[in-house]
Structure 1
Amino acid sequence: MAESRAEVSPGDEFVFTDEQQQLRAAVRKFCAERIDERAIRAVMESDPPYDPAVWTRLGTELGVLGLAVPESAGGAGGTLIDQAVAIEELGAALAPGPLVGTVYLAIPALVAASAPSNLLDSLADGTRTAAFAIGDVAAAPAGESWSLTGTVDGVIDAGAADLILVAADGPDGTALFAVDTDSAGVQRVPLTTLDPTRPQATVTLSDAPAQLIAGPEDADRVIAHALHVGSALLAVEQVGAAQHLLDLSVDYAKNRLQFGRPIGSFQAVKHKLADGLVAVEHARSTAYHAVWALAHGTDDPALAVSIAQAVCSAALTRVANDTIQVHGGIGFTWEHQAHLYYKRAYTNAALLGSAEDHRARVAELVLDAVTDTPGPRVATGKPR
């Protein structure tokens, strides 16, 4: 999936190819035509809260769901950088759909585990969706297969998933399994969430049949890789959303008149917009550095993704708050799109570890002195 380190020089980081720029333009055009604000509000009232036809088109027509999946497994054979470029544009559009469960977590885990192509190709082309669950689940041999028993709360995208990857404790240690959600012994209870376009569910498994994906010797590596990729892609999504909100605020400040002058001419508004620009550019640098580190091995992935999540979560929540302030009264209303991005900002900030969690993780990784107390849970996919 990634080029070797020898093929990459430090100057290559943050340099996008012509193909990647064309990919960005294509995804942006698709979102403008198919995932506008009206479409987002419509799917928020539907079950599942996304348009399966649009999701399938993202997988087949654009091929952006499996950009980092090898061609032999039904993907586009691109890099994680290609995937991140597409995700940034989907984040800017506030695209609904099981991105976290399928693209951010499940697909990277399956690729890292060299899973059978029949599992990957249906996720890459958008005909099936997935979720990723880590919790108190026990695995037991069941003939040539396995059965899983346990409950995991707050599993992102589990309500509409066709497949759930579950980390479970077996006789020899933790392993990763695939569970079809239409199997006996699988129960999913939807939860009420802050962001209706990013649903969660409680998953209960009762002797549910499961397929082994990664045994105890590989599971830790596979799970860690999935969580690192998921955190990096979530950071890129946050950058896309923050950039959209900043552009929205700048445009409004140029055109909204008060006392006969554009509000953008007032110092207080100028300062908010300037601070927002600094926050977005800082976030973009950390997010894409994490992506490059994962793709090319140029940095410690755990450190890079925690820096990215700490910075990007804080940046998006700040810009979301300032967007509402700049827009004044209309920004507080449900009818304005700032409200939708505000909910997404605070939901994303808690999905794979809060900014505080990741800052603590960075401290653990870079400081010589390590405290005796265990660090906070980071990027586990569990609710706080």
Structure 2
Amino acid sequence: MTTPPTSAVPTPAAASAAASAAGDPAGVDAAAAPSGGGLDLLYTDVEDALRASVRDLLTARCTPDAVVAAYDGDRSLTATLWKALAVDLGLAGLLVPEERGGAGASAREAAVVLEELGRFAAPVPFLTSAVVATTALLASMDDDLLVRLAAGERTAALVVPLSADAAGFRPVVRVQEDGTLHGRVTSVAGAVEADVLVVPVATGGGVALHAVEASAARVDHVVSLDMTRPLADVTLDGVRGELVVGADAGADAVRLALETGAALMASEQLGVAQWCLSATVGYLLERRQFGRVVGGFQAIKHRLADLYVVVESASAAARHAAVTAAEQDPDRTVAASVAQAYCSGAAVRAAEECVQLHGGIGMTWEHPAHLYLKRAKADQITFGTPGRHRALLGELVDLPA
């Protein structure tokens, strides 16, 4: 997949995103934009067409009633929906180069997909398999597993805790002299659906990545707040794996995978926030109280206006993170932490406002608002908390403690 060229545009949005992380989401001088000011943040025709295809599929197959079933233990939607996305639309291989069996797209297109998945709270392993695990495996010289992942034939999960961040992750799995792996990793996202576990292993020479068949490991499902992205504790006790990335390159592969995951998860959080804002506005334009539309009350207008600013600022931060990741811009690490520091809170605020402004119906199991609140709260601790990313930002831009 190739992206047609578009004219470069000024990007005050990028500066707005940086200011948002410091608590000023609304206004900032465009001259204060970071060095990525020359990046093109506009969506291309290809990205718009991709969005339309994904949205049409999810509208038809990913209804709130079907998603809620996951909380009753029904995971049937995940398998059918993932096949449609990964195989029929070919989205599993977006980040894999064409010469290695993939679509040859970039983080820009993957971000568009994640916006739509967030908008529908879709219970599929796109983030964990097609983004994080696949990015780690791009460092592998053996293309067999990568080709099968890109084709949607298999799914994978990087065996790290849900809260692991690129700067602070340390592997706990060890390899014995006989070549077997030993260790236990808790709260791993994507392991329940994975066919293959990509395990970071601490060695004397660094961090190596081993591919382990999920059936060979002990995968214990744990109760999580967001059951559309289930967690599991993974135990490796004398399991043998295949070395896919050597100890000289494994640490960098894991760091890049977690950083890319954090950068692109901001787009999922944006999708959550956009759905919450849209659903709330739609409801308040229909709901009547005291003889008038509820959305016409001044206090409600103020809350919606404030929420709109928050969501638009999140859009700027998420898009900047996705584009810098796609372009391998020097500011990509800063952009990823800015996006997570801001978008995590933005999604939670939008979901909380959605629940509250829907009144009584927003508190019920029947209304889908709870799906988005749970997704937003779970995402808030994924790949590093907002506080962790603010601390990282301080180090990255040389702010004093």
Normalised by the length of structure 1, the TM-score is 0.89
Query: Is the 1:2–1:295 Cα contact (8 Å) retained in structure 2?
Result: no
**Is 2:324 aligned against 1:324?**
no
Bigger mean CA offset, 316-325 vs 7-16:
7-16
CA shift at 1:11, angstroms?
4.8
CA distance in 2, matches of 1:227, 1:2: 25
CA distance in 2, matches of 1:141, 1:226: 28
**Is 2:305 aligned against 1:268?**
no
Query: Is the 1:57–1:126 Cα contact (8 Å) retained in structure 2?
Result: no
RMSD of Structure 2 on Structure 1 (CA): 2.0
Closer, same or farther: CA 250–196 of 1 in aligned 2, 3 Å: same
Candidates 143, 149, 168, aligned match of 1:117:
143
Equivalent AA in structure 1 for residue 266 of structure 2? A
Normalised by the length of structure 2, the TM-score is 0.85
Closer, same or farther: CA 132–196 of 1 in aligned 2, 3 Å: same
CA shift at 1:202, angstroms?
0.6
Candidates 174, 177, 186, aligned match of 1:138:
174
Give the match for residue 77 of structure 1.
Answer: 104
Candidates 153, 175, 180, aligned match of 1:127:
153
**Is 2:58 aligned against 1:22?**
no
Where structure 1 has 5 or more consecutive residues not aligned to the other structure, the ranges are 372-384
Equivalent AA in structure 2 for residue 220 of structure 1? A
Query: Is the 2:314–2:343 Cα contact (8 Å) retained in structure 1?
Result: yes
CA distance in 2, matches of 1:96, 1:107: 18
**Is 2:233 aligned against 1:179?**
no
CA distance in 2, matches of 1:158, 1:47: 17
**Is 2:40 aligned against 1:13?**
yes
Where structure 2 has 5 or more consecutive residues not aligned to the other structure, the ranges are 10-36, 161-170
CA distance in 1, matches of 2:88, 2:193: 22
Give the match for residue 231 of structure 1.
Answer: 262
SS of the equivalent of 1:190 reads strand
Give the match for residue 167 of structure 1.
Answer: 200
Closer, same or farther: CA 2–351 of 1 in aligned 2, 3 Å: farther
CA distance in 2, matches of 1:272, 1:347: 24
CA distance in 2, matches of 1:160, 1:79: 24
Bigger mean CA offset, 44-53 vs 244-253:
44-53
Equivalent AA in structure 2 for residue 128 of structure 1? R
CA shift at 1:70, angstroms?
1.2
Equivalent AA in structure 1 for residue 61 of structure 2? R
Deviations 1:167-212 (A, max 9, x none): 11113222121111123xx111110101111111111101211111
Deviations 1:30-68 (A, max 9, x none): 110111112212344345464312211111211122212
Closer, same or farther: CA 289–2 of 1 in aligned 2, 3 Å: farther
CA distance in 2, matches of 1:237, 1:283: 11
CA distance in 1, matches of 2:340, 2:347: 11
Candidates 93, 103, 117, aligned match of 1:66:
93
Candidates 307, 313, 322, aligned match of 1:291:
322
CA distance in 2, matches of 1:188, 1:99: 19
Equivalent AA in structure 1 for residue 181 of structure 2? L
Closer, same or farther: CA 2–179 of 1 in aligned 2, 3 Å: farther
CA distance in 1, matches of 2:284, 2:141: 50
Equivalent AA in structure 1 for residue 154 of structure 2? R
CA distance in 1, matches of 2:267, 2:141: 26
**Is 2:180 aligned against 1:147?**
yes
Query: Is the 1:233–1:291 Cα contact (8 Å) retained in structure 2?
Result: yes
CA distance in 2, matches of 1:173, 1:36: 45
**Is 2:72 aligned against 1:36?**
no
Give the match for residue 93 of structure 1.
Answer: 120
Equivalent pairs counted in the alignment come to: 361
Give the match for residue 156 of structure 1.
Answer: 189
Give the match for residue 374 of structure 2.
Answer: 343
Percent of pairs with identical residues = 40
Give the match for residue 285 of structure 2.
Answer: 254
Give the match for residue 380 of structure 1.
Answer: none
Structure 1 outlier segments of 4+, above 4 Å:
7-12, 47-50
CA distance in 2, matches of 1:153, 1:45: 23
